[in-house]
Amino acid sequence: MKIKELFEKKEKTFSFEIFPPKTPEGDIKLIHETLKELSLLKPDFVSCTYGAAGGNKDKTLALVEHIQKAYDIPSMAHLTCISHTKDEIHEIVKKIKAKGIQNILALRGDPPRDNPDMVPGIDNYKHSSELITFLRHEYKDDFCLGVAGFPEMHPLSPTRESDIKYLKHKIDCGADFIITQLFFDNQIYFDYVKSVRSAGITKRIIPGILPITSYDGLIKFCNTCGATVPEKVHKIFAPIKDNSEQIVKAGIEFAIAQCKELLSNGAPGIHFYSLNKVQPLKDIISSVR
């Protein structure tokens, strides 16, 4: 099923993002334990990343195919473009279609880890809008296309206005919905939605939420992706950063409060960055769904 078809049936959706593990042991745990437990939470759809540095595209497609076949859950494959040639992208998309995958999150992506200063050339799609244009031209309506939105602005965007302009271009090229980068201050999301709507974008904007399970890990991750960690988060989690049990408990409470406020003020669902963890999501979903 295409995710946009879900939107016609459900005012609010609850979905998860997973990633391919780096080790065979991780693969076994994800396939035989984590996905089974996540499926019991009845997500409306699941997305799967390329993993660290975008290096696991084959695992991504295998996981998405498995989730659809084993659990009958609509699933979405991430597809990044600058680290692949156009010919490679064309071959990947052929595999996506052959596996019966109907949903793609179209992304620019990061340069390869072994070539961080790579500059995309004539043989690459330089922007996700170019990838979307290709998909719509070659495959028409075969795929439902999601894109990323950045409530605090993409790190490469010079201004907030230009960031919204780029988002509008992605939508005009054929994207069907938006999932946002993580954030911890809901006002950032509300302000972003207002700006996006003012630009004439009417597509669904699903907030992306990261349940906090590690304070140090959170700081490190947000430093790499450009998300702000507000003072209220520091005040809650810094004093208990060495107590993992308290961190998880506080993280669940924070996420529940954040999600309830978002949903009660018009957010069309929640997309959880699960980090392949089940337990926080069990408590959060049961409280906010």
Residues serving a catalytic function are 17
Amino acid at 42: K
Amino acid at 141: D
Q: Given the structure tokens 């271009």, which residue do they identify?
A: 169
Q: Are 247 and 241 in contact (CB under 8 A)?
A: yes
Structure tokens at 69: 């076949």
SS3 269: strand
Gap between the Cα atoms of 4 and 242, Å rounded: 42
- Greatest Cα pair distance, the chain, in angstroms, is 54
The number of beta carbons lying within 10 Å of the beta carbon of residue 88 is 14
Contact present, 189 and 262 (Cβ < 8 Å): yes
